[in-house]
Structure 1
Amino acid sequence: MKPYKSLKATILFLAITTLLSCNNDEKNNNADSTKSLLGVWQRSDFSEEYDYKLYFNTEGNGYSTEYIAQPDGTAISNLRPFSWSSSETTLTLDYDDGATDATPFTINAAGQLLASGLGNVPFNKL
């Protein structure tokens, strides 16, 4: 009877240890993806006529800026605040105006942010 209790205790210990270690891995991966997004990202196709940037800060908020030069010499620009969060593969932007973008994202080998929901052009970290 005693060997049965020891085996049961060992299996229970291994099960709890496995569950807790998986949970920590998930938190660490999420923290790594969050850290990699922090800072300013600029669309790689920027020019004197067009610029789009994303600003991610540590408090889970940020903003986007867009600048579009017009043919008559004037320009249109906007600043759009958002709250953001990320999982391992999804970036969610909740804009102050009520809109939400949830998009798959990756950071490629060149260090560029790829977020299909924000366009097919990669972003470079500044």
Structure 2
Amino acid sequence: MDLIAEITIAFCLVVSGIFGLVGSFGLIRLDQPMQRLHAPTKATTLGVGGALVASMLWFAVFGEGFSFHELLITLFLFLTAPVTAFFIAKAHLHTSVDRAELPPTGTAHDWSVFEDPGDPELPGEPRR
């Protein structure tokens, strides 16, 4: 039982290290800021999540029992990282990108970051 647990924990740590390395490499090597935003929010989040899963397994098998601390940290990380990336991307669009540089949306409306589409029940009226 101990050997299987050790192999599983080692596998989780190796996979999380690979995700962390890929996320860090993507943060350095990608050209545009919006591309660089995906590396830490996707790959590095999975890397930290894998390390936390390995920690949960270690404490459950070899430690004093299962702990909910790592589970709560993982939940907090997976909930806050996408929201933070969304706000950073929105701030970047407002400060660094001209509307003319954006591709067409394919609808009658502009990008939702720049235009409020209004209430669907009241066409042409902006939301308040």
TM-score scaled by length of structure 1: 0.31
Greater helix content: 2
TM-score scaled by length of structure 2: 0.31
Greater strand content: 1
